[in-house]
Structure 1
Amino acid sequence: MILVLCGTQKQDFTRLMRLVEQVADREEVIIQAGHNHYETDKMKLFSFIPNDEMEKLYQQASLIVTHAGAGSILQGVKNHKKIIAVPRLKKYHEHVNDHQIELATKLEQLGCILAYQDGEDFISLYEKAKTFNPLPFNQKGNIEGLIDQSLEKYLK
């Protein structure tokens, strides 16, 4: 099962759902859509999922496809999951800045996740994720510190 997390921001992020829908015929897809509205009969969409249910879904998922928000990524990393992070982009009015690109790129460089690049073939990245072996959490060093560093310049 693929667990998809769009985040809680009010800016539209249906781009993420369109990407994942390309592989929805290959395995079950469950989406926490947040404030996004999307019509599909290929995937199960929920606006928000309670924390206890979300924890179960993280454990059951074979792959997490998420916006590149620190909380969603960190939860997946702690659960030793394969993660594709799709950064929300300022140019599409999905966020107020592009800090998610920096975070996703740094975590990919550390071997923790796969980061989707705008315009990349999502199906190829999905196939790559099948054989991707993320580094265990305890081998990555201080991931919270990395997240803080990545966000710091945007918070000033």
Structure 2
Amino acid sequence: MIFVTVGSQKFQFDRLVRAVDALVASGVAVDGAFAQTGVCTYIPEYLEHEAFLDRDSFRVHMDACDVVVTHGGTGAIIGAVKDNKKVIAVPRLAKYGEHVDDHQIEIVRQFGDMGLIEPCMDPADLPAAYARVLSKDYLPYKSNAARFCADLSDYIDGVGGVR
């Protein structure tokens, strides 16, 4: 099953929801899909959907899916890879009114370069990205939070700071 999440920001991501709807309509996603659509104006015809999910509902859908299709938000990507899900991430673009700038392009590329996700820079390429994500293995997510905190602590000590 595919779980689509576009987050809860004030920006629509109709291009992504429309692309997943078309993927499901084509019969490729045989196990179906569920989309958390946020403020999208496009109403899916072929996949189950809800605008917003509470934490428990989100968890149920995340647990049930094999593949997560998400916007290029860091939190959404990290949350899915921490759950050992195969992830296709598509960046929101400012020119379509999906965000204020195009920072998600770099986020998606970086996670893709790290071997953690399948980047899909354009929703029109979703069928190919979906085929790739089903046939590839991805690296597990490893947090560097402990190392970052240790490095920061060392830096503070080095400049004479007090902890």
Fold-level match, TM-score > 0.5?
A: yes
Deviation at 1:136, TM superposition (A): 1.1
The letter for the 1-side match of 2:52 is: F
Corresponding residue for residue 92 of structure 1: 96
Corresponding residue for residue 38 of structure 1: 42
Structure 2: give runs of 5+ residues left out of the alignment. 149-163
Deviation at 1:106, TM superposition (A): 0.3
The letter for the 2-side match of 1:142 is: N
Given the two structures, how large is their TM-score scaled by the length of structure 1? 0.84
Q: Are residue 21 (structure 1) and residue 25 (structure 2) matched?
A: no
Which region of structure 1 is more displaced relative to structure 2, 32-41 or 91-100? 32-41
Deviation at 1:46, TM superposition (A): 0.3
CA distance in 1, matches of 2:91, 2:81: 16
Deviation at 1:40, TM superposition (A): 2.9
Q: Are residue 83 (structure 1) and residue 90 (structure 2) matched?
A: no
Corresponding residue for residue 8 of structure 1: 8
- Given that 1:80 and 1:134 are in contact with CA atoms closer than 8 Å, whether structure 2 keeps it comes out as no
Corresponding residue for residue 155 of structure 2: none
CA-to-partner distance for each residue in 1:5-45, whole Å, 9 max, x for gaps?
11112222100011112221323110001111322331111
- Runs of 4 or more, structure 1, over 3 Å off, are none
- Given that 2:17 and 2:44 are in contact with CA atoms closer than 8 Å, whether structure 1 keeps it comes out as no
RMSD value, Cα: 1.9
Corresponding residue for residue 142 of structure 1: 144
Deviation at 1:143, TM superposition (A): 7.7
Task: Mark the CA change 1:21 to 1:110 in structure 2 (over 3 Å): closer, same or farther.
Answer: same
**Identity in percent:** 35
Structure 1: give runs of 5+ residues left out of the alignment. 146-156
Q: Report how many residues are paired.
A: 143
